[in-house]
Amino acid sequence: MKLSICIGAYPGRDAAYHLEKVKEHGLQGLEYYKWWDLDLNAVAREQERLGVGISAVCTKSFNLVDPALREAFVDGLKETIEACRRLGARSIITQTGNELAAVSRETQKETMTETLKRCAPLLEQAGVTLEIEPLNGLVNHPGHFLQRSDEAVEVIDRVGSPCVKLVFDVYHQQVTEGNVIRNATGYVDRISHYHIADNPGRKQPGTGELNYVNILRAIRETGFDGFIGLECGYTVDTDEALDTFKRTIWEQVRG
């Protein structure tokens, strides 16, 4: 498995600084959400210099349940795929947007499916994976349409493309549904990568109720070799938090 951090891990610092820290800590990737804010050529040069790079970005549009926004989503995805080509990134994260009032869940899932089927050939041609991310509605994202991992997998299976998968956010799924190890491993063939943070508080692993040694060991035992992304806040200096995480959790998981 590979370990990444997310932009904002070092508040106020730019992508180049974060990439330096990825290298310094022996990590493998950086998730940078708003790629359109970057000088892509400058970042590509930094990546070549350091030997580490951006592993995931986000879509420009975040709505999959409103058919009126389908063309905007697809157009934005085309731009994002081109950015991925220039950066060497292989994952694009998206969410679904909020549930539409007076529209059935089944209709909204059908809309998602049709939009994602439109996207699939573009992704397959580029060799890039679009990752759907369920978000919890209890604490952080009230009203968000897609919250459960099983429902995400249902839509992914309907689309039937190897380039449309799930990003399994352990924090969100703990809040929404629990059964973290069962779901995180049971759906591993539909999961492109994982986000991790502790609960409550969404801070670094080791600060809350989740046993990340057990969770990450279970994921590793499936043979998963993709990215584990630290998408969390930090209760102490980021460098200190990363050193502690690597020593107390990551090294135990990797043996």
Catalytic residue list: 133, 231
In angstroms, the CA 149 to CA 186 distance is 10
Cβ–Cβ under 8 Å, residues 109 and 154: yes
In angstroms, the CA 170 to CA 39 distance is 31
Query: Measured at the alpha carbon of residue 184, what is the angle toward residues 171 and 157, in degrees to the nearest 5?
Result: 115
Report the Cα 55 to chain-centroid distance in Å: 10
49: number of Cβ within 10 Å? 12
For 228, residues 6+ apart whose C-beta sits below 8 A from its C-beta are 1, 2, 3, 4, 193, 194, 196, 216, 219
The DSSP element (H or E) to which 47 belongs, if any, is helix 40-50
